[in-house]
């Protein structure tokens, strides 16, 4: 059995948000602007091995991402996938559950004064596509998405503090 890269992953440079069960990273390969990867915090091989709390938490992260992609970045739709193929190139696969999301844009999206066009819009995402986003724009995009996740957490905090006020 190979050791698990995701279980050993410590780099939080591109970590947008970490919930109890999942970590959301801005993907290395920005072939589609805003592409993220949602990684389960514990080792688990497939969707059917997720428990109900992990599944429900995943939905709340999907809800947040879809809202940010559509309302902040202007995406039309999102392509979600859970494939896991690469792990099976190994003789003894040791898959770690994760989801990919690629927001898809009908209109050009502007990041840091640069315009990006989703040339495959309304078609399947291209395989082995080169990243389109330049390094400094990736940093700007990261901060933009992360700040909106923060707002969400803040609103939950307010909700919690409100409920505490009500209880007093």
Among 1, 8, 10, 86, binds a copy of itself (CB under 8 A): 86
Instruction: Choose the binding region for a copy of itself from 26-34, 35-43, 48-56, 152-160 (rule: CB under 8 A).
Output: 48-56
Number of Cβ within a 10 Å radius of residue 72: 13
Q: Least distance to a copy of itself from the beta carbon of 139, Å?
A: 27
- Torsion of Cα atoms, 3 then 6 then 8 then 11, to 10°: 150
> Taking a C-beta distance cutoff of 8 angstroms, is the pair 112, 136 a contact?
yes
50 burial type by CB count under 10 A (0-12 exposed, 13-18 middle, 19+ buried): middle
Q: Is 66 in the site for a copy of itself (CB under 8 A)?
A: yes
Q: Is 131 in the site for a copy of itself (CB under 8 A)?
A: no
Residues that bind a copy of itself (CB under 8 A): 46-48, 50, 52, 55-56, 59, 62-63, 66-67, 76-89, 93, 95, 104, 106, 121-125, 127
């Amino acid at each position: 059995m190979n050791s698990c890269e995701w279980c050993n992953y410590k780099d939080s440079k591109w970590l947008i948000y970490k919930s109890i069960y999942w970590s959301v990273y801005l993907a290395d390969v920005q072939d589609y602007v805003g592409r993220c990867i949602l990684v389960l915090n514990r080792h688990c091989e497939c969707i059917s091995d997720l428990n109900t709390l992990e599944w429900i938490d995943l939905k709340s992260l999907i809800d947040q991402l879809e809202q940010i992609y559509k309302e902040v970045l202007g995406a039309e739709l999102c392509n979600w996938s859970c494939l896991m193929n690469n792990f099976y190139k190994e003789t003894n696969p040791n898959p770690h559950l994760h989801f990919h999301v690629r927001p898809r844009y009908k209109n050009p999206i502007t990041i840091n004064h640069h315009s990006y066009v989703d040339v495959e819009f309304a078609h399947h995402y291209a395989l082995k596509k080169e990243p389109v986003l330049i390094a400094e724009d990736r940093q700007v995009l990261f901060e933009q998405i992360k700040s909106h996740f923060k707002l969400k957490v803040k609103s939950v905090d307010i909700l919690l503090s409100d409920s505490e006020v009500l209880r007093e």
